[in-house]
A and B are shown apart, each in its own frame.
Chain A
């Protein structure tokens, strides 16, 4: 049973072309939703934690939002250095671990 589904699987953008990545989740109770960035051959780098519907967080060109069923990672005017795989993970209430989606592989073309 999939708990976390990310779309699209891959996304190619021109530099400066804003877009959004989607993370849909199904859990009985959400303790937190996490966004990570992963570069090839590296471990995931923590970006954001969202805890409740309506919450938003921003960091440079990235903005994460959360509803009761999904989260969006908005990328505004991306640069080539934003190219990476973006992973979404959820932690259920009462659970200790994270369930990861399969990620969105973002490529930003100069």
Chain B
């Protein structure tokens, strides 16, 4: 149980284009989902917290107009990287917390984004 999927698992895009990453909780409902990015050999850095049906809360230094987050249902959150640049290349990971239960976060497999 508590499976989280992400799509795509990897994507290569050209500078200036936008990329959408999906995060789905497959066997549970998630009122809260989180988006992280991870650079090589570094730990996870929280980008934003999204709650179903409301606006995402972004961490300091994360551009909300560049990283658009939508949490339209209890099983789906999306991250759109707008006007991507090479410095946005990273490993993006989402996590979800089971609605009404304890505090564990279950992570997706991650999406490798490369901007050329």
Contact = CB atoms under 8 A, between A and B. Distances in A.
B103 A44 contact: no
Nearest to A97: B46
Contacts of B112: 41
Contacts of B43: 87, 100-103
Interface string B37-79: 0000011111001000000000000000000000000000000
A49 B101 CA distance: 13
B103 A42 contact: no
Interface residues on A, range: 20 to 34
Interface string A49-64: 1000000000000000
Given A42-B109, A43-B109, A49 B44 contact: no
Nearest to B91: A41
Of A36, A42, A43, A87, most B-chain CB atoms within 10 Å: A43
Nearest to A91: B103
Contacts of B49: 96-97
- Sorted from nearest, which 7 A-B pairs have the closest CB atoms? A43-B107, A100-B43, A102-B43, A44-B107, A43-B110, A43-B109, A100-B44
Interface of B: 2, 4, 6, 32, 34, 42-46, 49, 91, 93, 95, 102-110, 112
Interface of A: 31-32, 34, 36, 41-46, 49, 87, 91, 96-98, 100-103
